[in-house]
Chains A and B, each alone.
Chain A
């Protein structure tokens, strides 16, 4: 029976299987790695050399087409970048505009006694001697002559003239502007006048009254031109001369008139025209 199983042929097959299994075991165990590396490295070097030559050859013929594709792609990306940059600028402008509008909205919410119409400043007076601005709302939006105009900081002026879709605002810094005001701390009333250079001056304050730098100036409501308790500015410097009845002070306005971009028009305040009563 053994002589039938261990025939020379079977023995040879068994030896071959054992040898192959042994080699596999050695390979899996990592004992043959140096041998493989040594025997494969010439092939890898040859393959690498061949591949590099082929790529160089291929680039030589294909690069012009790739350059054209890259240039097209570059131009497309550049135009896309330019478009995105312009979008960023537009969005930044909108953000700035939104910030201003949100601030105005906050002001309107914190002063609910008045109804407001927000307007954008679209122009400034032609003559340097006069202080006016032009806004993008007019009689079609419910604006009327004499309505007061404010920002979140304080008083701006009042509507001087209007057409259907625009209005001209006389700023409190204009030479012809007069605002009845009161000093918050001294509880005294006076007049704020504009000037041709755009400065504002507190006038008609009796000499005996102590006015201090930094005192807050607010509208008094007298005269019916402006509603009361709107901030106008703060006392900057005082001028008191001998033999005069009233002292004058320069005022630092709370509103930056040089950078006005949006304003609020107080809609529910009717200015009273007292000109016929003035003797």
Chain B
């Protein structure tokens, strides 16, 4: 329960940072998605059984503020959750590498789903422009921010999961 509260508080703080600061930091037209990074980093640390509930809440919060269709955060966040469950089962020993790999995959998945949704809505999209001006810069920013955010979330997780206590 404590992990749920701390995870929720951390995500809420990240959400405010994303809306007010990180959405305005752009390379070309791409920006970092701190929320996705937080989900990846938290799923990497949290091994509790009710993590799925926190992932659901995180996706719900994102849906509340974002104009993205509701299913995109749901699909992406739960994909992250299931991948991380597999990592945990295989006793993943390199969390930073796991963070970077999952961040890369999740960012791409989110980009594909978003572009696909916009395309289905009959909006003319120049795919090469989308790739060069948004997807790749966003991916770069996500990968750059993944390392410091992983460190911050790891410190935060020590509050939720004190050393020696298994959830």
Q: Could you tell me which A residues sit within 8 Å of B by CB distance? A: 122-130, 132, 134, 160-161, 168, 170, 174-176, 193, 195-198, 258
CB-CB < 8 A to B62: which residues of A?
A: 126
Q: Is the interface of A mostly helix, strand, loop or mixed?
A: loop
Q: B35 to A176, Cβ gap below 8 A?
A: no
**CB nearest neighbor in B for A128:** B31
Chain A-chain B contacts (Cβ-Cβ < 8 Å), number:
79
Select which of B29, B33, B114, B123 is within 8 A of A197 by beta carbon. B29
Given the contacts A175-B123, A197-B129, A197-B133, A127 and B29 also touching, CB distance less than 8 Å = no
CB-CB < 8 A to B133: which residues of A?
A: 197
Q: B163 CB to closest chain A CB, in angstroms?
A: 34
Q: B106 CB to closest chain A CB, in angstroms?
A: 13
| Complex CA distance for A132 and B33, rounded to whole angstroms | 15
| Complex CA distance for A122 and B62, rounded to whole angstroms | 16
Q: A128 to B134, Cβ gap below 8 A?
A: yes
Mask for B19-43, Cβ within 8 A of A = 1, else 0?
1100110100111010100000000
Given the contacts A122-B19, A197-B129, A198-B29, A127 and B66 also touching, CB distance less than 8 Å = yes
CB-CB < 8 A to A197: which residues of B?
A: 29, 129-130, 133-134
Select which of A123, A160, A170, A196 is within 8 A of B118 by beta carbon. A196
| Complex CA distance for A124 and B23, rounded to whole angstroms | 6
Select which of B24, B33, B134 is within 8 A of A196 by beta carbon. B134
Q: A130 to B24, Cβ gap below 8 A?
A: no
Instruction: Check B86 for interface membership: any CB of A closer than 8 A.
Output: no
Can you list 28 pairs linking A and B with CB atoms under 8 Å apart? Answer: A124-B20, A124-B24, A126-B19, A126-B62, A126-B65, A126-B68, A127-B66, A127-B68, A128-B23, A128-B134, A128-B138, A129-B111, A129-B115, A129-B130, A130-B66, A130-B68, A132-B66, A134-B19, A134-B65, A168-B65, A174-B67, A175-B125, A176-B118, A176-B121, A196-B123, A196-B130, A197-B129, A258-B24
